[in-house]
Amino acid sequence: MSFFKPVEENLPAWLTDPSDYSDIAISSRARIARNLKGYPYCQKISPHQAKEIIEKVNNILKKQKISKNIMFINLKFLPPVSKTFLKERFLATEYLLQGSHKEIIADKKESYAILINEEDHIRIQAITGGFSIDKAYKKASSIESILEDNVEFDFTEHFGYLTACPTNTGTGLRISVMLHLPGLTLKKKIKDMLHSLAEMGFSIRGFYGEGSDSFGSIYQISNQHTLGLSEKDILKKMSHVFHEIYSMEIKVQKELKVNNLKSIRDRVNQSFHLLQNTDSLDLKHSLELLSDIRLGHLLKIVKFPDLSILNKLLILIQPMHLLNLYNISSDDFNKEAEDRLRATILRKYFQGAKHVRTVYSQSPTDH
């Protein structure tokens, strides 16, 4: 994956771009699903037809002005290590990585990507920092318009855009936001929120979306249905849901600061100490420690000059990023080596005083 090196300097732009509500919202994503008319869907498509679709999309984009900033990544020739690396950057899904004749087209800043022959022929995604769903949708929609000017999508007046999964039929639009919700997690309110979101037509998932676990109090919220809703409706509903969750999280954090400051401060400082000094850390524990630091920053227990450092670490501590960052052969990369390298990069970021300092509150509300 030479176009991502050096890894530490070539991370997705959405991790570090200035953004609204970045204290809670890590990123926003718009994903549009489309299928080409006249072709079987991906579950029934032949290798020749799958290859044709790749060629059609490639030829369209190569004629556009944006083509010089595009990466064309044919998954057929990539080793498993590189495929996992792309998944860690949210450029690929587990579904896309299975089978052959699949491709990812992405801009070099990774603000958008086109996944070809995933569950649908074409899935266009745009990722932006913080809570910025309108910006993400505008970018994804602009790419979709370029393609629709040159190919005919499978569409009916009654159902809208047709997709492999009925829940995507209609607009084919999924809007999701990645949120850090440590307060609601500590207060064990996530389960209740899950039920409320389901009733409103939204789902809550883990760090890597569908089928993934939630670590480090990080969750992805997305709409479950698109049929019968316009793009404007979906964006409006997501905005309402986000602001409700945001208000709940901020309220709980304020309660924690008033009623549980001492225990939270002890927890944060212990996490800070571990990140500075530990020789080995697994991924789940690392994400939990980073979550504590992020909460500590918001409660003014630990201060970072820039929260984007914590965003960057969410990617840099992933297994294949560690392998690439330290130029380790996959033959020498086992669980022990992975955990040791993860602790190494975390010490690098947390031992330097220029990155972080500890703030001890003398609040009379300590209990």
pLDDT value of position 24: 95
Residues of the chain with pLDDT under 70: 1-3, 67, 208-213, 305, 352-367
Please choose, from the candidates 119, 171, 98, 163, the residue with its C-alpha nearest in 3D space to the C-alpha of residue 140: 171
pLDDT value of position 301: 86
How would you classify residue 213: left for phi > 0, otherwise alpha for psi between -120 and 50, otherwise beta? Answer: beta
Report pTM: 0.91
Contact 350, 276 (CB under 8 A): yes
Using the Cα atoms of residue 198, residue 202, residue 207 and residue 209 in order, give the sign of their dihedral: positive
pLDDT value of position 208: 64
* DSSP H helices in 129-216: 133-148, 182-186, 190-199
Q: Is 345 helix (H, G, I), strand (E, B) or coil?
A: helix
pLDDT digits (tens, 9 = 90+) for 220-262: 999 998 989 999 999 999 999 999 999 999 999 999 999 999 9
pLDDT digits (tens, 9 = 90+) for 279-326: 999 999 999 999 999 999 999 888 776 788 899 999 999 999 999 999
Q: What percent of the chain has pLDDT over 70?
A: 92
pLDDT value of position 207: 73
pLDDT value of position 3: 63
Domains, the chain, ordered by start: 2-254 (3.30.590.10), 260-358 (no CATH)
